[in-house]
Amino acid sequence: MKFTIKNSLFTAIVSELHKISSNKSLLPILSGIKIEARKDGVVLVGGNAELFIKKKFPLHINGETVVEVHEEGSVVVLSKHFVTLLKKLPDDIEISSDDMQSVLIKSGDIVTRLNGLRAADYPTLPEIKVLHSIEVNLTSLKEVIKQTIFAVSKSEEKPALTGVKMEFDNNKLICTATDSHRLSHREIQISYTEDSHSVIVPSKSLIELLQLKESSLATVHITIAKNMILFSTENTILYSVLIEGNYPNTQSLIPTDFATRITMNTKTLIAGIDRACVFSEEWKHNNVHLTIIDNTILKITTNSAGIGAIEEQQRISMVEGNTDVNMTFDGRFLLDALKGIQEEQVTISFYGVMKPAVITPEIETSYVQLISPVRS
Amino acid sequence: MKFTIKNSLFTAIVSELHKISSNKSLLPILSGIKIEARKDGVVLVGGNAELFIKKKFPLHINGETVVEVHEEGSVVVLSKHFVTLLKKLPDDIEISSDDMQSVLIKSGDIVTRLNGLRAADYPTLPEIKVLHSIEVNLTSLKEVIKQTIFAVSKSEEKPALTGVKMEFDNNKLICTATDSHRLSHREIQISYTEDSHSVIVPSKSLIELLQLKESSLATVHITIAKNMILFSTENTILYSVLIEGNYPNTQSLIPTDFATRITMNTKTLIAGIDRACVFSEEWKHNNVHLTIIDNTILKITTNSAGIGAIEEQQRISMVEGNTDVNMTFDGRFLLDALKGIQEEQVTISFYGVMKPAVITPEIETSYVQLISPVRS
C-alpha cells in the first residue's frame, strides 16, 4: 500500500475516527483505524462494538487532487500515536505499508515508522439487508436529534430509554426521548410513504452523527436493517446497532386541558433559569421555584440554606387560565428544554399541583417538552 | 457597605482571586474574597497561606467612572458561587452588605443574596519592613520568569529547588532555576546599585505573577522584606512568602571549553524535537537521540519497541570542534529549553560523553540552558 495525501484533511478524519475507536475492548485491533488504498481513493474505518464510521477520500475534491494512490493495499494503525504524530507533520505526507505491517509515514526528511496490524484481522462490516430507506436533509436531522437527545436516560436500568426513538410515519419523522422524569418530542416533515416503522437508536451513535462535518445542504440516507441503522452521506457511512426492546407509549403522557398557560421571552427566561442554577451542584435536584405574582410577573427563586438565595422577576407576555402557579422544577431540566427553542417566545403550560408542565415554542406544536415537577 | 461597579471588570478580577483562594485550608475564610469599599475605590483581597493578591478599583479608569461607593464598609464572600453568579449577571451591578454579613447583589429585577463572613476575621496582610526595593518593567520581568520557571524541581525533597532564585546584583537581575537534571539561567539589565542580594521565590507565586493582566508598559516595584517579597503595580500588590534555605552554587556547573558546538534554525529544531516526543508518555524518560552525520546533518531519532520509530534529519547551519556527537537527552527538557529562545538561530554546545549540553541563543550569553544527558 502506498499513497500521498493532504495531511490537513487526513488528520481531521483520523481524529474523528480515533475518538470512537475503542481502547478498552478485548479486541486490541478495535483501537486501530483500518486504512485501505484503492484505485478510486482511500477509505478509513474506525469504531467500536456498537458503532463504526467509514470515511472515503475520493481522488479529487472540488477539482483539486487530494489523494494519489501509488499502490493498492490495506493495513490497521493504532490510532493514538498516529493522530498525535500526524498533527505534528507538514501538509504533504506519503503513507505506505509493507508485508510486515510496518507503516511508514514520510514527509520530506522526516521518516516515521509505526507498527501496524493486519487489515484482514479487522472486523468485516456487516452486509446490509435493507428493510427501509429514507432520505433527510442532514442539518434538519441534526437539529431534531439535538432537540431530543438530552432527555435520554443516563441509567442503564431500562435500556430502551438510553436511546432516542425514531419513528417514520406518514411523511413525518418523530423523535422521542425520555428518562421518565422528562420527555422530549419533536416532529419534522420528510418524504416517507412506506409502512410506519420505528427504531431505538443509541444516544452514543447519535452524538457521533451530530459531530459529522458535512455541508449543511448534505442529504443523509437512513437505511434500516435488522438490528442496525446506517446513516450515509456522499463519503461517509455511520453504522450503528439498534437498541432492542419496547419503547413506552409516550403520546398518552402529554396532557391536554391546561390550567394555566404563560408565554414569555425565550432568551430572557433562559438567562434567568441559568442564574437560578448557580447553586445546582449543592443539590441532588436543582430546585427552582416558579411563582406567578400579580398575574403578570413570573418570579424565579432558588435557595440554598448555607449559601444564599437568588430571586428575579420577569414579565409574562401573555397568560391564560388561572394564575395560581407555585411549583418547583429541576432547573437543569428547564434549561435543557428551553435551549431547544429557537422561537422568540416560549409557552409553558401548567396542569395543576404535581402534574408535569409542558414547554413548547409559541403556537408551534411539533416540538414538545414535558417536565415533571419536584416534590418539595 | 454599598457600591455600584461595572460587572465585566469586577468579574475578571474576582475570577483571578478565586483561582488563588484556598479551598483546602483549615481556615474557611481563606476560600473567600475580602471586599472593602472605601471613599477612593473598592479593594479586593484573595489568597492562601503563601500568597495574597490585593487589587484596587479606583473610582475612574481613563476618565470613565467604573465604581461609585455609596457607603463604606467591608465583608468577605466565599468565592466559588460568587464568581459563577457574577458571570451570569448583566454589566451594571450593585453590591451591598448589612450587619449580618448578608451580601446583596442586585441588577435590575435580579436580586441575589449570598451569606458572607466578617471582614474582621480575614487575615491582616503583614506590615512590611522594606529591606530592598527595585523597579523593573513588568513585561521584561515576566519574560525572565517564563524562561526559567519550567526548570524548577517538582519534588519537595529540596525545597530551595522548588523556587526560582532571583539575584539583584550590580545593575543586573539574574534568575536561576534547576531540578539538578537541568538548569535555566537568565540575566537582564536593571537599575540596581544597592548591595548584592538574592532571594528564592516559590514558583506558585511566580505563576500568579505571570497571570497579572496589566499594560505591557507597566512598571513593577519589587520590595524585599524579611521572609517576604512584594510585586506592586499601580493597582495590584502580590505578596509572596520566600523560600528559606541555601540555593546551590550553580555558576560552577556551567562548563567551559566545548568539544562540539552547532548552530541550528530554532523553529525547525523545536518542531523536530516536538515530533520526536510523540512517544514520550510511553517512557519515564523521553529518550531523544541526537547524532551528527556527514559533519552537516543533525539526525534526531526516537524508538519505542512496541510502537515504532521517528527519524528526521536537519541541516546544521554551523559546526565548530569535533563532529563526533551521539548523545541521548530527555526530549521534554530539550523542548522546554528551546522554547525560551526567541532568536532565529540556536547554539548547542556539547562537552563530551555523559557531560551536560548547553543551549543558548546564537551569540547571546545572557540566557543559558544546561541539560544533563540520559544514561542510555
Read off the pLDDT of residues A37-71 as tens digits, 9 standing for 90 and up.
999 999 999 999 899 999 999 999 889 999 999 99
Contact B312 A109 (CB under 8 A): yes
Residues in Cβ contact with A284 at an 8 Å cutoff, skipping those fewer than 6 apart: none
Of A125-134, A303-312, B338-347, the least confident: A125-134
Furthest-apart CA atoms within chain A: distance in Å? 80
Task: Using pLDDT thresholds of 50, 70 and 90, give the confidence band for residue B281.
Answer: low
Contacts of B309 in chain A (CB under 8 A): 112-113
pLDDT of A376 reads: 65
Section B17-37 average pLDDT = 88
pLDDT of A36 reads: 97
pLDDT digits (tens, 9 = 90+) for B315-325: 999 999 999 99
Section B223-245 average pLDDT = 93
Section A130-155 average pLDDT = 93
pLDDT of A281 reads: 67
Q: Mean pLDDT of all residues in chain B?
A: 92
pLDDT digits (tens, 9 = 90+) for A290-349: 999 999 999 999 988 788 899 999 999 999 999 999 999 999 999 999 999 999 999 999
Section B19-28 average pLDDT = 82
pLDDT of B195 reads: 84
Q: Does A130 touch chain B (CB under 8 A)?
A: no
- Rounded distance, CA B213 to CA B229, Å? 19
pLDDT of B285 reads: 63
pLDDT of A54 reads: 96
DSSP secondary-structure letter at A253? G
Name the residue in chain B with its Cα closest to that of A89. B275
Task: Using pLDDT thresholds of 50, 70 and 90, give the confidence band for residue B14.
Answer: very high
* Short-list B209, B169, B176, CA closest to B191: B169
Q: Which three cell numbers stand for residue B240?
A: 509572596
* Short-list A306, A312, A310, A304, CA closest to A285: A304
Contact B307 A81 (CB under 8 A): yes
How many other C-beta atoms are found inside a 10 Å radius of the C-beta of residue B284? 8
Task: Using pLDDT thresholds of 50, 70 and 90, give the confidence band for residue B363.
Answer: confident
**Nearest by CB to A312, which of B109, B275, B278?**
B109
pLDDT of B151 reads: 97
Section B49-71 average pLDDT = 94
Q: Does A101 touch chain B (CB under 8 A)?
A: no
Q: Which domains does chain B have, with CATH numbers?
A: 2-121 (3.10.150.10), 133-251 (3.10.150.10), 254-371 (3.70.10.10)
Task: Using pLDDT thresholds of 50, 70 and 90, give the confidence band for residue B228.
Answer: very high
- Rounded distance, CA B202 to CA B239, Å? 11
Contact B110 A310 (CB under 8 A): yes
pLDDT digits (tens, 9 = 90+) for B159-204: 999 999 999 998 999 999 999 999 999 999 998 888 889 999 999 9
pLDDT of A313 reads: 96
Section A352-367 average pLDDT = 89
Name the residue in chain A with its Cα closest to that of B270. A88
Q: Which three cell numbers stand for residue B304?
A: 519505542
Of A6-20, A295-309, B15-29, B80-94, the least confident: B15-29
Of A327-336, B39-48, B138-147, B271-280, the least confident: B271-280
Contact B112 A272 (CB under 8 A): no
- Rounded distance, CA B233 to CA A145, Å? 52
Section A180-186 average pLDDT = 95
pLDDT of A280 reads: 72
Residue B250 CA to chain centroid, in angstroms? Answer: 21
Name the residue in chain B with its Cα closest to that of A87. B275
Q: Does B313 touch chain A (CB under 8 A)?
A: yes
DSSP secondary-structure letter at A153? -
Task: Using pLDDT thresholds of 50, 70 and 90, give the confidence band for residue B284.
Answer: low
CA–CA distances in Å: residue A135 to residues A143, A191, A223:
15, 7, 9
- Do residues A271 and B108 touch, judged by C-beta distance below 8 A? no
Name the residue in chain A with its Cα closest to that of B105. A310
Question: Shortest Cα distance from B199 to chain A (angstroms)?
Answer: 40
Section A276-283 average pLDDT = 78
pLDDT digits (tens, 9 = 90+) for A234-273: 999 999 999 999 999 998 888 889 999 999 999 999 999 9
Check whether B9 has a pLDDT greater than 70: yes
Contacts of A274 in chain B (CB under 8 A): 88
* Short-list B345, B357, B355, B281, CA closest to B315: B345
Task: Using pLDDT thresholds of 50, 70 and 90, give the confidence band for residue A133.
Answer: confident
Of A159-163, A215-219, B205-209, B226-230, the least confident: A215-219
Q: Does A307 touch chain B (CB under 8 A)?
A: yes
Q: Does B279 touch chain A (CB under 8 A)?
A: yes
pLDDT of B154 reads: 94
Section B247-255 average pLDDT = 90
pLDDT of B306 reads: 80
Residues in Cβ contact with B11 at an 8 Å cutoff, skipping those fewer than 6 apart: B83, B86, B87
pLDDT of A279 reads: 81
Check whether B376 has a pLDDT greater than 70: no
ipTM: 0.83
Contact B278 A81 (CB under 8 A): yes
Element (H, E) at A193: none
Q: Mean pLDDT of all residues in chain A?
A: 92
pLDDT of B54 reads: 96
pLDDT of B132 reads: 82
CA–CA distances in Å: residue B325 to residues B89, B209, B259, B295:
62, 40, 9, 10
pLDDT of A284 reads: 63
Q: Does A218 touch chain B (CB under 8 A)?
A: no
- Rounded distance, CA B194 to CA B187, Å? 17
**Nearest by CB to A312, which of B81, B111, B311?**
B111
